[in-house]
Amino acid sequence: MDIVDENRSKIKFSREYDLVGITCFTSNAFRAYEIADEFMKRSVKVVLGGYHSSALPEEAKQHADAVLIGEAEEIWNQVLKDAENDTLKNFYIGKPVEDIPYPKRRNFSLTASVQATRGCPNGCEFCALSKMEGRKYRKRKIEKIIEKISQIKQKAIIFYDASLTIDISFTKEPI
């Protein structure tokens, strides 16, 4: 398995892959579609997911064999199994997970990310967040967040929360 971050290394289109998964934000949608199209030209199965794909799954499907809508944690193994059996569905809908998992850390990055919360109760029509993370606002335990932050070696930490002001008492909770 290869994980490629184009900010750090080039994609090796000539390598043989069974499946390519691409996270697609609106800010990188055109590039994600270019990458997906190139792999599809090479007969590599492509799955698009992420905020943009969740907000516009029909658009994303024009560039992929399958589109994952919502959170991937609980459905990704099914996607892999279907890809292996050559039975990929057009769309997969991931359900919001209660216990937000922590990503595996890659030490070559200059920054590290933390996600303390997921979801938003507001459900604004224009926002992809409700489609991606659901309308239930989920929070990690403060002690677990502090524990993870203390394990991070990088000096710059980015919080990947949609909003840390949805629940101000949580955000200001003393340690």
pLDDT in tens, 26-75: 899 999 999 999 999 999 999 999 989 998 999 999 999 999 999 998 99
- Domain ranges, ordered by start, for the chain: 19-94, 111-171
Residue-wise burial string across 134-154, b where 16 or more C-beta atoms lie within 10 A, e elsewhere: beebebbeeeebeebeeeeee
At 76 the pLDDT is 94
The CB density around residue 79, as the number of other CB atoms within 10 Å, is: 21
Distance CA 2, CA 17 (A): 9
Q: Per CATH, is 111-171 categorized as 3.30.750.210? A: yes
Class in CATH terms, 19-94: alpha beta
What is the pTM for the complete model shown? 0.77
